[in-house]
Amino acid sequence: MKLQITQIGEEVLRGEARELSREEILSATTQELIEHMRETMRSAPGVGLAAPQVGMPLQLAVIEDREEYHAKLAPAQLFERERKPVPFHVLINPRIVARQGSAVEFFEGCLSVTGYAAVVPRARAVTVECLDERAQRRRVEATGWYARILQHEIDHLNGVLYVDRMLSRTVTTLENLERMWKDLPMPDLLKRLKARGR
């Protein structure tokens, strides 16, 4: 079942989501929610979806960066973003326990901020501790685009949207991003933005 994705302005996107107990994680209700979130994320399409985005204030997110999503990007862009396929997985009660490297800036969008994107600085690498859908402890080490996805989704669980972290003068419609900025290497793009006084 495809769920409705809440949009910026909805209160559920701004509160801190609550943790789930082991019993809740293993319940039929949560397992069903995970499947519905997977279907919703894929049909959007997106690379991550947090429970608050479907109106549920729970510390739960699903992530998947499918190879087919990379088709629009040139090999040089995939390399620059350190973007590789990420198999479907579930994060429950996640915590970022380490951030490594200097901040890396790329355009980011969000299924809850439909039609827009902006440059967002994020740590290049993170370590995340969480539970999976079987309530088993997991430790995730991620770099590049995968690290960005994790940071974005975990922000959702803490009431933070990318608009809170973006370089405000870079916000653009997805249409204009596609038309004017998509094929520009990030160093060149950032140079142009600085020239306009970002």
Query: Where do the domains of the chain lie?
Result: 11-195
**Burial of residue 44 (number of CB atoms within 10 Å: 0-12, 13-18, 19+):** middle
Q: What percent of the chain has pLDDT over 70?
A: 98
| Radius of gyration of the chain, Cα coordinates, nearest whole angstrom | 17
* 153 carries an active-site annotation: yes
Say how many C-beta atoms besides its own lie within 10 A of residue 29's C-beta.
Answer: 8
pLDDT at 4: 97
Tell me, which fold does domain 11-195 have in CATH? Peptide Deformylase (3.90.45)
Q: Is the pLDDT of residue 197 over 70?
A: no
Q: Tens of pLDDT along 119-145? A: 999 999 999 999 999 999 999 999 999
> Could you tell me the pTM of the whole model?
0.94
In residues, how long is the chain? 198
**Token pair recorded at residue 133:** 């859908």
State CA 195 to chain mean position distance.
29
From the list 83, 102, 107, the residue with the least C-alpha distance to 183 is 107
Q: What average pLDDT score do residues 6-27 get? A: 98
User: What span, in angstroms and rounded, lies between the C-alpha atoms of 170 and 42?
Assistant: 27
Q: Which two tokens stand for residue 101?
A: 């490297």
> What does the alpha-carbon distance between residue 42 and residue 80 come to, in Å, rounded to a whole number?
24
The pLDDT, as a whole number, for residue 182 is 74
State the catalytic residue, choosing from 10, 153, 175, 178. Answer: 153
Per-residue burial over 165-194, b = 16 or more CB atoms within 10 Å of its CB, e = otherwise: bbeeebbbeeeebeeebbeeebeebbeebe
Rounded CA-CA distance 98/13 in Å is 24
Among 19-28, 40-49, 65-74, 134-143, whose mean pLDDT is lowest? 65-74
Query: For the segment 91-109, what is each residue's pLDDT rounded down to a tens digit?
Result: 999 999 999 988 999 999 9
